[in-house]
Structure 1
Amino acid sequence: MCPNPEKMSNLRKNNQIVRSEAPIALVGGGEIGPDDLNQTLIRVSTVVAADGGAIPMMDSGRMPDAVIGDFDSLSGAYLDRIPTDRLFPIREQDSTDFDKALRSIDAPLVLGVGFLGGRLDHQMAVLNTLVRLQDRPCILLGEHEVVFHVPPQIRLKLTPGDVVSLFPFQRVVGRSKGLEWPIDDLVLEPNGRVGTSNRALSDVELTVDGPGLVVMMPRDALDHVMQAFLSGQTGGWPARA
């Protein structure tokens, strides 16, 4: 499976199914807005589907470059149309299809669509994976927001008044610039202080002492967030043991 050698190479090396030096889109089978796929596809050249995410892709006229998952959401009518060298089944049932796909992609950034909205338990599982696979930079596109796991440091070009919500999935201490309510030296933790509905005064800088902080900000900040991740100045978290 390598429809374009310039986009993907060394498949299955180091347990990776897809490797790329450029951002990759990952499409799920959840809620996808009318312009979500277009907004995703214009920013990437390689598209991976997580199981049932192949359906909206194929309905839009685009064949996924790879399909990863347990395939319990793909009917035969769709499955039979996908070239076998683009199918990568992972049959275990201990993880979600988002988990299976994200951990199998080696790229500087993954842009995920079709994973937010709908059932709350599904969204919580996605956010859990986003934090747990801390070495996999990923931005999720939602109906109103973009969501990502904060790297060690990040600088974001935002519009004054933009909502910046910070939610910790584990204990995190950080510092900030450009927020109406700074987080300097505050302890953020899921059963304690959180940082929802903060606001940008100008460009925002965040520095955190460890992984676990999820940020939500307006959808129209997507390009600025992507640029920040691709700047080479954010640092990254090591893979969890």
Structure 2
Amino acid sequence: MRSEEPIALVGGGEIGPEDLNLALNRVKIAVAADGGAIPLMDSGRMPDAVIGDFDSLSGTYLDRIPADRLFPIREQDSTDFDKALRSIEAPLVLGVGFLGGRLDHQMAVLNALVRLQDQPCILFGEHEVVFHAPPQIGLNLTAGDVVSLFPFRRVTGRSKGLEWPIDDLVLEPNGRVGTSNRALSEVELIVDGPGLLAMAPRDALDHVMQAFLSGQTGRWPVREE
């Protein structure tokens, strides 16, 4: 699936009553990761594409989707989020239905978010937005907003506008992490390598989207396996 505009990616996990509207009001194209087609179709929106192994999509729904919108990937070594995200080429993916629910599912999603480092993607849930921090990003946040930084790899970087700057710190999964930091004003992050997840309040979604679409964040290269 290729697009020159942002794409919504819908999963089959927990979706709040306004989550779909929040995503669909900001994009023109909606892609479902397997069972994510169900909430989309229940809302009256036919997905533009469905990607996955289709083990979570019953025949009742599957039969209603045009065949040219179905993109099966049958292997079982990756999640449907992984399958879908790696099959999308867009300036930004806005993911809903991937946070909340089972912790192992969420961890697998966050793992894929970091591994597929060349694909800009914002996930939003009930309370926060989560994204893999690009090489640099500026966020227009409100003073007091919680900003958490969680490394999935060993990373270093610099910051402005955080109550506790990350300059001269080494962040790593089994060492120092950056949860529950706070914005003092507009936040700027410069990260020296991929692997850092950033979390901001849910109502900062538009500011985070604008930052990614500004063309000023840079982009990590495709990861060499």
On whether the aligned pair clears a TM of 0.5, the verdict is yes
2:3 alignment partner AA: S
Partner of 1:53: 36
Return the offset for 1:213: 0.3
Structural mapping, 1:148-159, within 5 Å: 148-159=131-142
2:209 corresponds to 1:226:
yes
Unaligned runs of 5+ in 2: none
2:209 alignment partner AA: M
Partner of 1:14: none
Structure 1 CA distance, aligned partners of 2:8 and 2:155? 29
Structure 2 CA distance, aligned partners of 1:55 and 1:91? 19
Structure 2 CA distance, aligned partners of 1:106 and 1:185? 35
Partner of 1:72: 55
The one of 106, 109, 113 aligned to 1:130: 113
Structure 1 CA distance, aligned partners of 2:13 and 2:119? 21
Partner of 2:219: 236
3-state secondary structure, aligned to 2:112? helix
The one of 65, 75, 95 aligned to 2:78: 95
Return the offset for 1:114: 0.1
Return the offset for 1:78: 0.3
Structure 1 CA distance, aligned partners of 2:198 and 2:191? 12
Structure 2 CA distance, aligned partners of 1:218 and 1:208? 20
Structure 2 CA distance, aligned partners of 1:185 and 1:99? 33
Partner of 2:129: 146
2:137 corresponds to 1:170:
no
1:97 alignment partner AA: D
2:92 corresponds to 1:109:
yes
Return the offset for 1:98: 0.1
Return the offset for 1:27: 0.1
Give the alignment's TM-score, normalised by structure 1: 0.93
Give the alignment's TM-score, normalised by structure 2: 0.99
Partner of 1:11: none
Cα deviation, 1:100-129, whole Å, max 9, x if unaligned, reads 000000000000000000000000000000
Partner of 1:38: 21
Return the offset for 1:99: 0.2
Partner of 1:120: 103
Structure 2 CA distance, aligned partners of 1:174 and 1:106? 28
Unaligned runs of 5+ in 1: 1-17
Structure 1 moving runs of 4+ over 4 Å? none
3-state secondary structure, aligned to 1:140? strand
2:28 alignment partner AA: S
Paired-residue identity, %: 87
Structure 2 CA distance, aligned partners of 1:217 and 1:234? 17
> How many residue pairs are counted as aligned between the two chains?
224
3-state secondary structure, aligned to 1:30? coil
Structure 1 CA distance, aligned partners of 2:125 and 2:158? 26
1:203 alignment partner AA: E
Partner of 1:212: 195
Return the offset for 1:185: 1.6
Structure 2 CA distance, aligned partners of 1:115 and 1:185? 33
1:84 alignment partner AA: A
3-state secondary structure, aligned to 1:19? coil
3-state secondary structure, aligned to 1:47? strand
